[in-house]
Amino acid sequence: MTTQRYERLYEKIDASLKDRSASDALLRCMKRGRDTRAAALETLPGGTAFRNDVRKAKERCIEDLPRLKKQFIENVEKRGAKVFEAKTPADVIKYCIDLAKERGATHLAKSKSLTTEEIELNRPLMDAGIDVVETDLGELIIQLVNEKPFHLVFPSVHKMAPEVAKIFEKATGKPVEGNIPSIMKVVRKYLRPIFLNAEIGMTGANIGIAETGAICIETNEGNARNVSSIGKCHICVMGMEKIVETIEDAMLMILAHPVSASGQLPTTYVTWMHGRNPLGEGDGKNARESHIIILDNGRTEMRDDPDYRESLYCIRCGACMNVCPTSGIVGGHTFGHIYPGPMGICWTAAVHGLETAGNFAPLCISCGLCKEICPAIIDMPHMIAEIKHRDAKKHGYPLPNKVMMGADKAARLGSVTAAVANFSLNTRAIRKLMDKTIGLSADRNVPPFTYPTFMQRFKDHRLKVVAPQRKVAFFVDVYANYNDPDLGMAAVRQLEALDCEVVLPPQDASGYPFIAYGDLDRARKTAAGNVAKLFPYANQGYDIVSIEPTATYSLAESYPHLLKNNNASRRVADHTHELFEYLNKLEEDTGNAPMSRSLKGRKFGFHIPCHQRALGSGHGAIEWLRRRGAEVEVIETGTCCGMGGTFGLKAGLLGHKLSMAVGDALFDLFKAAEIDAIVTESSVCKIQLAEGTGLEVFHPLQLL
């Protein structure tokens, strides 16, 4: 299924899947970033607790940004530096060209600056006769081949050493051996005269400090320190959102940036600049100057838009890219415009336009992992859903997405007509027709439908708990209702065996596909409807228990966001529990464990679904299995299995093919593990893992 709008996107995805060399290099780098981050957090007092502090600091500083910007400017100017507030990219370009002409400068050395990349500053400067050279190694490589960064932090990660050697052979006119030590020797020799002879040095700034007027630049190569200090004139181009209130705020960011990006504590070079000293004056030439350009370029509008405001909390660490499953396969040239990755969708929409962001927003499969790793806990999944929503107001929804958003209705029909529906799902010719017409992949195994449904069976369920210790409102969602009612009934029996009174409130499906594909009108309607139905039970002391991770995530995380944290949504969220953490707590409280089959001597590989990472990361199910004698090993790559809810059910490149490519690394880990079977609580991850590994995959309840 293709549309004219996405033809270029399909071409890029197809090219990435056919030649995996770039993505393999990127995936190795991403994994190294995740692993070193995890190792660093083990040694950091409080572990990930710093994220809450970063969040609070950014919330406070963005709220007070007009005052802090004014204070920052006043203190910068007191130190003798010059400040220019630029509303648009054109303002920055004109200021820099005019300054270069005024100083008679034709050579400009740059350190890595995402803000100058945002406005594509290099080209107009070069067109004005200014020789611009990037001095960060990754950025220099990208400049020499006229590409955009492949990753926010590792811009040239897709270039292997032999190719880089050829690039510098062309740049220097001399042979370069294709190994890293030889390349680095050549690069140092290449850059040294550029540092020494540049008339203007240009950097960005990681932080601006309002109370002192200082800027802070963090690097690992030291090039920014050379660029900002050797030449007579330094220009810093920074986004206004980089301004924080205090030195303490800045120190917090200096911790958060490197540990989130690459697990460092801190970067190799942390440069603090408070204006410039007057060295070099008196020789009859231009005095040493420092110019700080504060860029708006849509940031004021972002701050005023409640759906985009959190974008300004971004500290440009690239952690979201290190965990994004589809970005790891296609890279920043496909998953991005100038800013790549999940946050790239948000920033592209704000500074380069909704249309541009909409061209690659479908690559977000709404796994939610970006929020779980973000040092500022930015709710990227829901921001991206808003961008998809606004984009769809103009362009509509592709047919496969419409089909997936109607999955609950299709399942209801499939259950009523189970014999016919299951025959169709198992008939190759019909599946191929569905692939071509509605976008349901012919290559994807779809679980059979069952009749009667769980809800119908529960009506006939007669067991009454005589002296209930807890009251449970059971939330069933789609799969356990229409595809596997036995699973739902097994959960009910476990709860009742622990003296719970279980009721089944009126309810609709969780509606998460509406969020994933950006139909937020229906997402809010579904959230409001389910909250209205569940709120009375929460108020009466019922605990809400769900067995599907995405449904639990919807109740606990998504509904409060969609309903602006109103009292009812928060009440429902606070009363929502995952099944196994709830069962374990009941067993501990009662000292009783229901009789069940022993799993002693069996070893299982456990898969944590993405949405479960925001909940209990599967710890409840793992503990529950271990209490029954099982040996359980968590097997993971640190990112998604690739299914992405209903994303992996769709046909083609923006569906099954990309989904399976994302899952390849995880499939290999499971196949290499010495396990009896795979266990996961997600119905859709179960489909993906069974297809990708050929192993048996069970829900924990199915092992009883």
The domain that holds 274 is classified in CATH as 3.40.50.10420
Distance of CA 611 to the CA centre of its chain: 12
Kindly state the tokens that stand for 664: 């390849």
Tell me: the pLDDT tens digits for 676-691?
Answer: 999 999 999 999 999 9
Kindly state the tokens that stand for 318: 């690239």
How far is 336 from 149, CA to CA, in rounded Å?
9
Give the model's pLDDT for residue 278.
65
Q: What are phi and psi of 603, to 5 degrees?
A: -120, 130
Give the model's pLDDT for residue 282.
44
Kindly state the tokens that stand for 499: 């003296």
Half-sphere exposure of 365 (CA within 13 A, CB side): 29
Nearest Cα residue to 349 out of 323, 387, 297: 387
Share the mean pLDDT of the chain.
95
Of 396, 419, 451, which marks where a domain is finished? 396
Once rounded to an integer, what is the mean pLDDT over residues 515-520? 98
Q: Does residue 472 lie in a domain region? A: no
- Classify 105 in phi/psi space as left (phi over 0), alpha (psi -120 to 50) or beta: beta
Residue 244 sits in the same domain as residue 108: yes
Give the model's pLDDT for residue 284.
52
Give the model's pLDDT for residue 1.
41
Tell me: the pLDDT tens digits for 622-633?
Answer: 999 999 999 999
Residue count of the chain, please give it: 704
Once rounded to an integer, what is the mean pLDDT over residues 551-576? 98
Q: Does residue 524 lie in a domain region? A: no
Residue 277 sits in the same domain as residue 321: no
Once rounded to an integer, what is the mean pLDDT over residues 1-30? 89
Nearest Cα residue to 444 out of 475, 407, 498, 419: 407
Give the CATH number for residue 320: 1.10.1060.10
3-state secondary structure of 271: strand
Tell me: the pLDDT tens digits for 100-128?
Answer: 999 999 999 999 999 999 999 999 999 99
Collect all residues with Cβ–Cβ distance below 8 Å to 29 and sequence separation of at least 6.
151, 154, 157
Domain total of the chain: 3
Residue 95 sits in the same domain as residue 186: yes
Residue 316 sits in the same domain as residue 291: no
Q: What are phi and psi of 419, to 5 degrees?
A: -60, -45
* Cα distances (angstroms) measured from residue 625 to each of 581, 608, 634, 702: 11, 14, 12, 11
Q: Does residue 583 lie in a domain region? A: no
Nearest Cα residue to 553 out of 519, 585, 515: 515
| Structural domain of 179 | 44-295
Residue 305 sits in the same domain as residue 289: no
How far is 572 from 578, CA to CA, in rounded Å?
13
Of 295, 325, 355, which marks where a domain is finished? 295
Q: Is it the case that residue 3 has pLDDT exceeding 70?
A: no
Give the model's pLDDT for residue 286.
67
**pTM of this prediction?**
0.94
Q: Does residue 543 lie in a domain region? A: no
Give the model's pLDDT for residue 374.
97
Angle subtended at Cα 560 by Cα 556 and Cα 561, rounded to the nearest 5 degrees: 115
What is the maximal distance between C-alpha atoms in the chain? 97
Give the model's pLDDT for residue 592.
82
Q: Does residue 271 lie in a domain region? A: yes
Give the model's pLDDT for residue 324.
97
Residue 156 sits in the same domain as residue 271: yes
Give the model's pLDDT for residue 595.
72
Neighbours of 294 (CB within 10 A): 25
Residue 241 sits in the same domain as residue 325: no
How far is 543 from 540, CA to CA, in rounded Å?
9
Give the CATH number for residue 645: 3.40.50
Q: Is it the case that residue 526 has pLDDT exceeding 80?
A: yes
Q: What percent of the chain has pLDDT over 90?
A: 93
Q: Is it the case that residue 524 has pLDDT exceeding 60?
A: yes
Q: Does residue 411 lie in a domain region? A: no
Residue 140 sits in the same domain as residue 289: yes
Residue 354 sits in the same domain as residue 270: no
Kindly state the tokens that stand for 21: 């060399």
How far is 697 from 188, CA to CA, in rounded Å?
53
Q: Does residue 592 lie in a domain region? A: no
Tell me: the pLDDT tens digits for 260-272?
Answer: 999 998 888 999 9
Of 295, 311, 333, which marks where a domain is finished? 295
Residue 107 sits in the same domain as residue 225: yes
Residue 312 sits in the same domain as residue 276: no
Tell me: the pLDDT tens digits for 445-468?
Answer: 999 999 999 999 999 987 778 888
Q: Does residue 529 lie in a domain region? A: no
Tell me: the pLDDT tens digits for 35-88?
Answer: 999 999 999 999 999 999 999 999 999 999 999 999 999 999 999 999 999 999
452 upstream amide cis, omega within 30 of 0: yes
Give the model's pLDDT for residue 285.
63
Comparing 274-288, 392-406, 431-445, the range with the smallest average pLDDT is 274-288
Residue 343 sits in the same domain as residue 392: yes
Q: What is the dihedral of CA 252, 256, 259, 260, to 10 degrees?
A: 170
Once rounded to an integer, what is the mean pLDDT over residues 616-620? 95
How far is 324 from 320, CA to CA, in rounded Å?
6
DSSP assignments along 472-509, one per residue = EEEE-HHIIIII-HHHHHHHHHHHHHTTEEEE------
Which residue shows structure tokens 């799969």? 479
Once rounded to an integer, what is the mean pLDDT over residues 244-253? 98
Tell me: the pLDDT tens digits for 413-431?
Answer: 999 999 999 999 999 999 9
Query: Residues 272, 47: contact at Cβ < 8 Å?
Result: no
How far is 676 from 335, CA to CA, in rounded Å?
37
Q: What percent of the chain has pLDDT over 70?
A: 98
Nearest Cα residue to 331 out of 147, 113, 79: 147
